[in-house]
Amino acid sequence: MKEKKILKKYGIKTPAGEVATTPEEAAEIAERLNCEVVLKAQVLAGGRGLAGGVKFASNEEEAQKEAKTLFATEIKGLKVDEILVEEKLAIKKELYVSLMLNRAIKKPVMIGTTEGGMSIEKLADEKPEMISQIPLNPLVGVYAYHGMELFNRFDLSADLRKKLARLFVNLYKVFREKEAFLVEINPLVITEDDEVIAADCKLITDPEASYLKKGVSPRYISLEGDIGVLANGAGLTMTTMDVIKAYGGKPANFLEVGGDFYKRADEALEFLLTERKDLKGLIVNLFGAYARTDVIIRQVVDVLKERDIDIPVSFRIRGTGEEKAREIVETELNKKVHLNIEEAAKELLASV
């Protein structure tokens, strides 16, 4: 449902519908829609139709009955907590359209076929000739002629190809602005009155994109623990996380500020402290070579002083700029700087 709301904002038609959390809500939605409806189990699993996760109803009584069945069903081991109740479309034809990032050629690719409603992977195995693809230049983007070209080889009317061309222009806006790896409409329904409607949608975005937009290193991953980690270098960060776990703690994140990003460690730490207000402690582990530890520490200490955080912080610092970095921590924070990460971890975990 969330993906369909996004498509709608970009001018792509979707079926009218709402999400229900009880059979009674499903009946109320069906009554408001005042038409035949489709009930779709909202679970993070593909192939829900074949797994019994899609039902049809002609009125609100049937909608309530089918919803009750769905709520009692497990789809591929997943419990159904929500059901999308939406209008049943008068389907004349089902297409498949998508935009995906092709890592091999490092470009977005438009994909289309008139064989919608089935797995694109299965179609690629069984009928590869039915799939049309166009690699895109990301500096150029998508224009209407791309969509026309994509479906030229298929037996579609000129009017329909024009509609598909406009849809692809909007779909590319979704792909670009949502920092997507994949945006897929399957099926894209052509109704009896030749409307083009996205019946189902999949949107996979780059999890690192939000950090990039906020000026934070893309090398950030949020984890389930409560001990924050800030280090320079991926290997050093992983080692820090391993040591935390070895001494009974659980790392809350992976965040490294190596390379040229060491001059923006303050932004990274600000982001971490804003995103993870549940931290019980923080370990700063630095080894200076190209990245100067005193430059990183100056930023870290400024952030800690400005925020006046009330969680314990432990430091391990070695390498370029070590003496000055040590002096900053000891004089301004009145904290000990450790020579090895094991000591730093033990000190921190003993105080949380």
So which residues are the catalytic ones?
96, 184
Q: Decide if 176 contacts 158 (C-beta within 8 A).
A: no
Give the Cβ contact number of residue 246 at 10 Å.
11
Question: Whose CA is closest to 147, among 216, 97, 76, 217?
Answer: 97
Tokens of 155: 């037996």
Helices in 35-119 by DSSP H: which ranges?
60-71
Q: Is 204 helix (H, G, I), strand (E, B) or coil?
A: strand
- Measured between alpha carbons, how far is 275 from 277 in angstroms, rounded to an integer? 6
What DSSP state is assigned to residue 47?
-
Q: Decide if 230 contacts 282 (C-beta within 8 A).
A: yes
Q: Decide if 26 contacts 83 (C-beta within 8 A).
A: yes
Q: Please classify residue 112 by burial: count the beta carbons closer than 10 Å to its beta carbon, then call 0-12 exposed, 13-18 middle and 19+ buried.
A: buried
What DSSP state is assigned to residue 46?
S
- CA atoms in the 13 A half-sphere facing the CB of 173: 13
- Residues β-bridged to residue 267: none
